[in-house]
Amino acid sequence: MEKSMRYVNGIDRKKVKKQKDILSRRTPGERIFFSVVFVVFSLQTLSYLLMVYWVVLASLKTPMEYFFGKQLAFPNELMFSNYSKAFSGLQVDGTNLFGMIFNTLWYTALATFFAIMMPCITGYCISKFDFKCKNLIYTVAVINLMIPVVGTAPANIKFLNVIGIFDTPLYVIWSHSSGFTGSFLIYYGFFKSVSRSYMEAAEIDGANHFAIFFKVMLPQAVPVLLTYAITNSISYWNDYQSVLMFIPSFPTLAAGLYLYGELEAQRMGDFPRYYAGLILSVIPPLVLFACTSSKIMTSLSVGGLKG
């Protein structure tokens, strides 16, 4: 009886408890170190929460309260009307908040789709097919990731003007269609670990290369694809530099609010309405991360992604 209680599903409970006791033991130096780290991270978290608290309060004040009242004081009257005014009052070059939301949606969708699919295709081809210069292409791709690209914006703008896609939605497709981004290495390692028996079985059934990839191999990479889709979509939703430089006629929420804060908000003095627009812009990625954070965390492992 005692032996049956000790073993659960073939696991020695006494041994597991002993291992936990060993892991929980810390030297005085380790306790001091982890205590300091905890205090530092707690202070950092509180500073972030304080900034969020300040922005929310500022979005609910009148312009007079914002400029002449105490910054962290609760407003005398909650001006929720600032949020409705943000949709009509926040405009950049004739594009209001509704237009910015629309631009953000198609920009995020296009950029995310091509950013996750192109490295997936190249990673699959290089990992599963043997051809000349295969190792050379892989080596060049790795070296390319090490080369900094700082200062290439003027050359990129000139090149985009020459080929006629500057300030057009085609720029989004062109700029995110590279198959050798950092995620290429993750896809390469993932497909490398998948057995070729799946491909051989599909070939026996008469499937061609496209059918094998889209119906057999790609479904197995869904956890990796979803993780990259979530993280990339949040990144592209908040991207404003690329939009300002390469597609200025299509301001997204991030780019439009940045321009409004730099120009219109300072000129008009209506910062509460500007902060209301900021709060509205962060709600979608915040909700997305809250709903998918467990998926992201379970898909991540030390040094890469788990399939």
Give the pLDDT score at 37: 92
At 306, the pLDDT band (50, 70, 90 cuts) reads: very low
Q: What is the pLDDT of residue 116?
A: 94
How many Cβ atoms from other residues are within 10 Å of residue 273's Cβ?
24
Give the model confidence (pLDDT) of 49-80 as tens digits. 999 899 999 899 988 888 887 777 888 888 88
Residues 147-165 have a mean pLDDT of: 84
Tokens representing residue 251 in the block: 């301001």
What is d(CA 265, CA 268) in angstroms, rounded to the nearest whole number?
5
* Inter-axis angle of helices 222-237 and 271-299, nearest 10: 160
What confidence score (pLDDT) does residue 165 get? 93
- Digit-coded pLDDT (tens) for 161-179: 999 999 999 999 999 998 8
Half-sphere exposure of 131 (CA within 13 A, CB side): 8
What structural domains does the chain harbor? 2-59 (no CATH), 88-305 (1.10.3720.10)
- What pLDDT is recorded for position 75? 84
CA distances from 240 to 27, 165, 237, 252 (A): 47, 18, 8, 7
What is the pLDDT, as a whole number, of residue 45? 92
DSSP alpha helices (H): ranges in the chain?
2-6, 13-24, 28-59, 63-68, 81-89, 97-128, 134-146, 153-163, 170-175, 183-193, 197-204, 209-211, 218-220, 222-237, 241-246, 253-262, 264-268, 271-299
What does the pLDDT read at residue 15?
Answer: 57
Residue 209 to residues 49, 69, 199, 214, 278, Cα–Cα distance (Å)? 51, 67, 9, 9, 47
Name the phi and psi angles at 75, rounded to 5: -65, 150
As beta bridge partners, residue 8 has 11
Q: How many CB atoms lie within 10 A of CB 14?
A: 10
d(CA 235, CA 1): 56
Instruction: Report residue 18's pLDDT band, with 50, 70 and 90 as the boundaries.
Output: low
Q: Give me the pLDDT at residue 120, please.
A: 93
The pLDDT tens digits for 172-214 are: 999 999 888 888 988 998 999 888 888 888 888 888 989 999 9
pLDDT of residue 305: 42
Angle at CA 58, nearest 5°, toward 54 and 61?
Answer: 145
pLDDT at 146: 83
pLDDT in tens, 251-299: 999 999 988 888 776 666 678 888 999 999 999 988 888 888 776 666 5
User: Mean pLDDT score of the chain, rounded to an integer?
Assistant: 84
| pLDDT digits 0-9 by tens, 83-122 | 988 888 888 888 888 999 999 999 999 999 999 999 999 9
Q: Which two tokens stand for residue 192?
A: 């490398």
User: Model pTM?
Assistant: 0.80
